[in-house]
Amino acid sequence: MRTHEINRRLATKGFQITVLTTRYPGWQERVEDGVHYVPIGFGKGSSRLTRLVAYIARLPFEVCKRRSATELVVEDFFAPFSTMAAPLWTKRPTIGVVQWLHARDKARQYKLPLHWIERLGVRKHRRLISVSQGIGDRLKELNPDLHVDVIGNGVDPGVWNNQPRLGKDVLFIGRLEYGHKGLDLLLEAWAHACERVEGKLLIAGTGPDEERLRTSVRDKGLSERVQVLGWLSGEKKFQVLSDARLLVVPSRHETFGLVAIDALAAGTPVIAFDIPCLKEIIPPGTGWVVEAFDVLALADEIASRYSQTGLEHVAEQGRKFAAGYNWDALADKQAQAYRTALTELKNPQTRRPQADHAERA
């Protein structure tokens, strides 16, 4: 979503953008909102593994084929190892866009040294764009010589169409995944908090642990206090966000926390763990952060904030803060980062002295 929202705005500014992406069932090369999408690989792309392997195998060749018509290559980091060290083989000025750094987690999952590949690839880059300061800091740890521009994600404009109201229910929206999204922590906290809360816990999303979630809800005796909504998008998602009293983000790690920004824009205060990336988008007055992974503290925070007076003022502050995450403004910043990268990567002697420091855009 970020790739498309930024690129379609850059296309209106005169950028000619080709996105090389994986194949998928029913894939087709197309131009959408002025952005040229080219699925690459072999065959129909019927499984994740074949899509990934074929994409990795074809990518250098496809970039080489387009080299003469390319001024700047943008490597959008992707799972499972983040980066293919694109500056080594593109033979064009290359900048990376980093929405996540999950190689270490994937290394544990697949028992492969994927984090070594990530570290090598990051060290081959000179300029990167990060969606959060937390990710930017991690990139600088991997490569102290990097220049990092921090340019966040934007709020879906449709979220502003609904007026916030002080609802009854507590909401979670996200991928149904226990380890990353902290669903186990959320259910345990809710078991402690629900007797002090009038509404239900609404859980929206799909994912690999959906059946495990439903089983856990039954086993904990929470069936009357938890409702699983399934996948929500568009107007349905915005309405549920606007109607909620609180949004809870129990993630163990995040790279940005777009759902939190969407909630603030919808006028719903946010409660989350005090972890990098999340705490930087929940400033005081718009929500609350609690000690990381402390289930009882999370339960107490949910219960106390639920009955707190003045939530309408918190909602108002959240909307003001979220207004800064505007796709148009973010696209302008990314365009400037591209222009600067093109100038400095073509002419290394023009590199600015402050480029060794992370910048927040």
- Joined together, the tokens standing for residue 207 give 């994912």
Predicted pLDDT at 357? 37
pTM given for the model = 0.84
Work out the pLDDT band at 120, boundaries 50, 70, 90: very high
Place of tokens 């803060």: 321
Work out the pLDDT band at 356, boundaries 50, 70, 90: very low
Strand order in the sheet with 73-76: 73-76, 94-98, 127-130, 147-150, 359-360
Return d(Cα 277, Cα 134) in angstroms, integer: 5
Segment 166-194, tens digit of pLDDT: 999 999 999 999 988 999 999 999 999 99
Pick the CATH number of 157-322 from 1.20.1250.20, 3.60.150.10, 3.40.50.300, 3.40.50.2000: 3.40.50.2000
Predicted pLDDT at 179? 85
What letter does residue 194 receive in the DSSP assignment? G
| DSSP alpha helix (H) spans, the chain | 2-12, 48-65, 103-110, 114-123, 133-142, 178-181, 183-193, 210-219, 234-243, 258-265, 295-306, 311-322, 327-346
Class in CATH terms, 2-155+328-360: alpha beta
Question: What is the mean pLDDT of the segment spanning 219-241?
Answer: 95
Predicted pLDDT at 161? 87
Predicted pLDDT at 349? 56
Segment 93-106, tens digit of pLDDT: 999 999 988 888 88
- Joined together, the tokens standing for residue 105 give 């987690």
Statement: residue 6 has pLDDT above 60: yes
Segment 271-326, tens digit of pLDDT: 999 998 898 999 999 999 999 999 999 999 999 999 999 999 999 999 999 999 99
Statement: residue 350 has pLDDT above 70: no
| DSSP alpha helix (H) spans, 153-294 | 178-181, 183-193, 210-219, 234-243, 258-265
Sketch the domain layout of the chain as residue ranges.
Answer: 2-155+328-360, 157-322
Predicted pLDDT at 157? 87
Predicted pLDDT at 277? 85
Nearest to 19 by CA among 33, 5, 4: 4
Segment 16-43, tens digit of pLDDT: 999 999 999 999 999 999 999 999 999 9
Return d(Cα 40, Cα 19) in angstroms, integer: 10
Q: Is the N-terminal amide bond of 250 cis, ω within 30° of 0? A: no
Mean pLDDT over each residue of the chain, to the nearest integer = 92
Q: Which residues, other chains included, contact 324 with Cβ-Cβ below 8 Å and sequence gap of 6+?
A: none
Work out the pLDDT band at 90, boundaries 50, 70, 90: very high
Segment 148-171, tens digit of pLDDT: 999 999 998 889 988 888 999 999
Place of tokens 């792309």: 45
**Position 279: which residue type?**
K
Q: Is the dihedral of CA 52, 82, 180, 204 positive or negative?
A: negative
- Joined together, the tokens standing for residue 124 give 């081959």
- Identical fold for domains 2-155+328-360 and 157-322, yes or no, is yes
In angstroms, how far is the first alpha carbon of the chain from the final one?
Answer: 20
Torsion of CA 272, 275, 280, 285, to 10 degrees: 40
Helix 183-193 to helix 210-219 angle (10° resolution) is 20
Work out the pLDDT band at 354, boundaries 50, 70, 90: very low
- Joined together, the tokens standing for residue 106 give 């994937």
Strand partners, 98: 130
Work out the pLDDT band at 348, boundaries 50, 70, 90: low
Q: Report the residue count for the chain.
A: 361
Question: What is the mean pLDDT of the segment spanning 80-87?
Answer: 95
Higher-pLDDT residue of 68, 348: 68
Work out the pLDDT band at 359, boundaries 50, 70, 90: very low
CB 188 within 8 A of CB 222: no
Nearest to 139 by CA among 110, 107, 103: 103
